Structure 1
Amino acid sequence: MNLSSRHSLDNPVWAALATRHAHLGTGGLLARRYHPDIAPFAAVVSNTAAAWQELHGLMQRGEQVALLALDTMEPVEGLRAEQLGVIHQMAATGRAPDRVDDTEMVHLGHLDAPDMLELASMTKPGPFSTRTHETGHYIGYRERQQLIAMAGERMHIDGYVEISAVCVHNAHRGRGLAGRLVNVLRGDIERRGDTPFLHVFSDNRAAIGLYERLGFELRQVFRLVRIKRVD
């Protein structure tokens, strides 16, 4: 099946790299991937030998990428697939709150990248690398100059923007920081005319519960698949 004929959110990595994030990746008509220092994600436009061959050509020997798959992956010789888990895609319903307490929130950019990478490495909200902050707008909270919480925008698709890297330092959990950051980003995205969405592991019940309370609902279920070039 041609994956591009589905809803764009059913192949979000492809939809982002084929449109608003084309400058952050590489690839052709059948396969695309983010630059490795941006994100580990890749996508094929169809589950065909030609598409897998094109992805193979975008990878170095021994390199790995991650795909969000609805169907069973059948890569060609030279590529090995391994399922890592199940991902829930959740989309916002309704509108963000009219007012959110953002008095101490800070905007994060290039100079904050080392602190962002350190917090992500500690809390493990998902893949985060040296240039991930270039995917969109990132915000956070600092105390005594230490970055203690952050969230930002990752995949940008026509009509949709993904909220990602939602994380809080272990010593500062339980203060509602994650919810405030998500609501601020959600409001910004909606004012631009886009719909917020996000991805979360299916067994992360705490995060799923938070997102449900914030007004996100399950939209799609993916397999998270690691593809490794083994030839």
Structure 2
Amino acid sequence: MDQQAHSLDNPIWTALNSDQAHLGLHNGLACRYHPDVAPFGAMESESPEAWLALEHLLPPGQQAALLSSDPVSPPAPLRAQPVGVIHQMVATRRDACVEDASDIVTLGPADAAQMLELAGKTKPGPFSTRTHELGRYIGVRTQGRLIAMAGERMHPAGHVEISAVCVDEAWRGKGLAARLVQRLEREIWQRGESPFLHVLSNNVNAIALYEKLGFALRQRFFLTLVGRDE
């Protein structure tokens, strides 16, 4: 298996030990994003030493979201809270096109409050006060109000994750999500990297959209919150 494919087998670990190291906390065999950036954490393996390293990164009351190929059983005092099954999907074609991108704008720190508000209303997945620092975010506004956005999250070697794809309920059904994903997808290909994404297995509408846009299932992960009691 080549290095790029391998980087997606443990994408959080790979991202936090390369381009996004400055956005995380590290303890040898375990790492996690800063809590205000993203809730995800990872271990090099599921050895007792790695679990202990992760425990030291989790103060009482805090949790980290782990992706694993099998259900995890952390040792005490850590507790596992299963969330669901995640589909990891990869882009399979390079012909992503955006017929009209004139209304698509780049989002930055000045837009953080509006981004957080839109994510809070639409629930595209974890989004916090510093999530916008993970990569490029774009959106669509109407009358100064942000009504749709998408952005880049994990950045494991050779790949960029498309994430936070969301549209205000009043503006759904107009193709905004597809256009934003295609715009990011094209830019990622142009940088010489490959787009991928993660989506919960029960989000059938999103999966259908991504399949229509040329994304295909690569593998399934179990998503689990791991933490300590207060």
Q: What are the equivalent positions in structure 2 for 1:178-197 lying under 5 Å apart?
A: 178-197=177-196
- The alignment partner of 1:199 has SS state of strand
- The alignment partner of 1:157 has SS state of coil
Q: What is the deviation of 1:94?
A: 1.4
Partner of 1:223: 222
Partner of 1:26: 25
- Across the two proteins, how many residue pairs are aligned to each other? 227
TM-score, structure 1 normalization: 0.95
Distance 1:201 1:99 in 2: 26
Contact 1:100 1:183 in 2 (8 A): no
* Residue identity matched to 2:21: A
Partner of 2:75: 76
Computed over aligned residues only, the root mean square deviation of the Cα atoms, in angstroms, reads 1.3
- The alignment partner of 2:154 has SS state of strand
Structure 2: any 5+ residue segments left out of the alignment? none
Q: After TM superposition, where is structure 1 displaced by more than 6 Å over at least 4 residues in a row?
A: none
The sequence identity of aligned pairs, in percent, is 57
Distance 1:31 1:71 in 2: 18
Q: What are the equivalent positions in structure 2 for 1:34-183 lying under 5 Å apart?
A: 34-183=33-182
TM-score, structure 2 normalization: 0.96
Contact 1:32 1:43 in 2 (8 A): yes
Distance 2:135 2:95 in 1: 19
Distance 2:145 2:211 in 1: 29
Deviations for 1:54-85, whole angstroms, at most 9, x for unmatched residues?
A: 00001111211110111231212110012111
* Residue identity matched to 2:181: V
Q: What is the deviation of 1:155?
A: 0.4
- The alignment partner of 2:224 has SS state of strand
Contact 1:113 1:130 in 2 (8 A): yes
Q: What is the deviation of 1:48?
A: 0.9
Distance 1:27 1:59 in 2: 11
Partner of 1:203: 202
Q: What is the deviation of 1:96?
A: 3.3
Contact 1:149 1:167 in 2 (8 A): yes
Distance 1:80 1:226 in 2: 8
- Most deviating of 21-30 and 144-153: 21-30
